[in-house]
Each structure stands twice: as C-alpha cells, then as structure tokens.
C-alpha cells in the first residue's frame, strides 16, 4: 500500500486529513490514486493509519482515516554524521541512512568537502521520501550543516562514536546507541582524524576495498545495526 506523509495523523477512525500541495500532487498526479482507494498516511512521529481518498480541498487531497496502525517502536539512537559530497551523491547517502535506521542525520562540513552549500529543504524532502519508501513511521531528525569541529561534541559521550578511517584495524559494530562519521570524497585529513580521536571518537575500518563516500555510509550503518564482521 502506498505511503504518504502528513502533518499529523488523527487518532480516531473517520477523521479527515488534508495533505499539503506537494504530497497531494504526488498522490493525485504521479501515483494516480483514485477516489475510494486506500493508502497509508504517517506523520514522522511514529503514528500511521490506513486512510481513504475521499476528494479534494482545492489543490490538496482529502482523506478519511479508516483504521489506525500500531505505533513504531523507538530504537537506539543512531547518528549518521555525513560529510557533504557533490551532486546527487549526498542525497543517496541520506537516503541510505534513512533506510538503515538512522535517528539523526548530521551534515558535516569537512576540509576536503567540494560541495559546501546547505540544501536543508531539499535534504528534508529526500528524508520524507525515504521514510515513505522504507516503511518507517519515525522520521530521523535533520540537523543543520555544521563544521566538523563542532560536530565532534554534539552526539552524547554515552553513545559509541566511530569515525570511518581507511585501514583502521578496529571495525565499527554495536547494537546500542551509536554515532558514525563518514568523510567526503577525498577522505578526512590527518588533523581531522586526530581531533576526532582527542574528542573520544574511535577509528573504524570498513574492510580492505576503497569505498565511495555514499557506499561507506551504507557499509558503516549496516555493520553498526547488524554488529557483523567487516567485508573484505
């Protein structure tokens, strides 16, 4: 069943909800949901429901709640701290982080970042789409683009904190609260790695092969969630 985000899921069957213009356009014009058809609506706060398209309110789709779905259980904190990469690569990394259960996505400005613009609204739309596609009801929080020096002290020291460093002997892996730093196209410079270590982060390798930045995101988060062995 197709899934669409809304501002707030009503908690009673029979309640009406109106989707915003962009989501309505996707529902009505792209996926061509017909009047009387059922979809799933969710609000990114863990609530979701089956709802039926009953009509339009101006340019917006209007739905009626048919039945509430179980709330999504909260999972251990998982910060994906991702150095910004150029073009669509960063959006791919964000999408993968959402699919793999990140609870916070922290864009990072590193010394070797080629892309430096903050595209917060665009990244938020990518997150919303990935949440809908992946079946999650709890959307990860998107933080603002922040220099690495400031990011190093943002995740609580109670989290296991990893910085991905090629060739590191230790491999990231924990089933508890964690944070992971993934570098840009050119990797971290030596001073950045040293600063992270001084701030309590541990170096983590991802195997013997050289990974693109967006692939490293997938590899690191998969290992943390599954606590499995490194590939390579």
- Mean pLDDT (10-residue bins), the chain, 232 residues: 90 93 92 94 88 94 94 81 91 94 95 86 93 88 95 87 78 71 91 94 81 86 64 29
Alpha helices in the chain (DSSP H): 21-25, 89-99, 120-134, 148-151, 190-198, 213-226
Q: Which domains does the chain have, with CATH numbers?
A: 3-69 (2.40.240.20), 78-226 (3.40.1280.10)
In terms of C-beta density within 10 A (0-12 exposed, 13-18 middle, 19 or more buried), how is residue 127 classed? buried
**Predicted local distance difference test score (pLDDT) of residue 229:** 36
Model pLDDT, residue 167: 67
Distance between CA atoms of residues 57 and 229, nearest Å: 52
Backbone angles phi, psi at 41, to 5 degrees: -110, 145
Q: Are 78 and 224 in contact, with CB atoms under 8 Å apart?
A: yes
Q: How many degrees, rounded to 5, is the angle at CA 108 between CA 102 and CA 109?
A: 165
The set of residues, in sequence order, having a beta carbon less than 8 Å from that of 74 and lying 6+ positions away, is 46, 138
Residue-level pLDDT at 231: 31
| pLDDT recorded at residue 230 | 37
Whole-structure pTM value: 0.79
């Amino acid at each position: 069943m197709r899934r669409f985000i809304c501002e707030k899921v009503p908690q009673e069957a029979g309640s009406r909800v109106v989707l915003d213009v962009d989501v309505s356009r996707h529902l009505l014009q792209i996926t061509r949901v017909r009047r009387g058809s059922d979809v799933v609506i969710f609000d990114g706060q863990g609530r979701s429901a089956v709802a039926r398209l009953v009509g339009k309110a101006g340019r917006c789709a209007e739905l009626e709640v048919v039945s509430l779905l179980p709330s999504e259980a909260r999972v251990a904190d998982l910060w994906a701290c991702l150095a910004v990469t150029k073009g669509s690569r960063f959006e791919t990394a964000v999408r993968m982080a959402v699919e793999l259960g990140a609870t916070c996505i922290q864009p990072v400005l590193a010394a070797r970042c080629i892309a430096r613009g903050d595209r917060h609204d665009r990244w938020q739309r990518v997150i919303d789409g990935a949440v809908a596609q992946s079946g999650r009801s709890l959307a990860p929080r998107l933080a603002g683009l922040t220099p690495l020096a400031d990011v190093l002290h943002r995740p609580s020291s109670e989290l296991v904190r990893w910085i991905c460093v090629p060739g590191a002997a230790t491999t990231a892996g924990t089933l508890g609260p964690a944070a992971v730093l993934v570098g840009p196209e050119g990797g971290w410079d030596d001073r950045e790695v040293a600063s992270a270590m001084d701030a309590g982060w541990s170096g983590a390798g991802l195997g013997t092969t050289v990974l693109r930045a967006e692939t490293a995101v997938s590899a690191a988060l998969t290992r943390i969630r599954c606590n499995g062995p490194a590939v390579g």
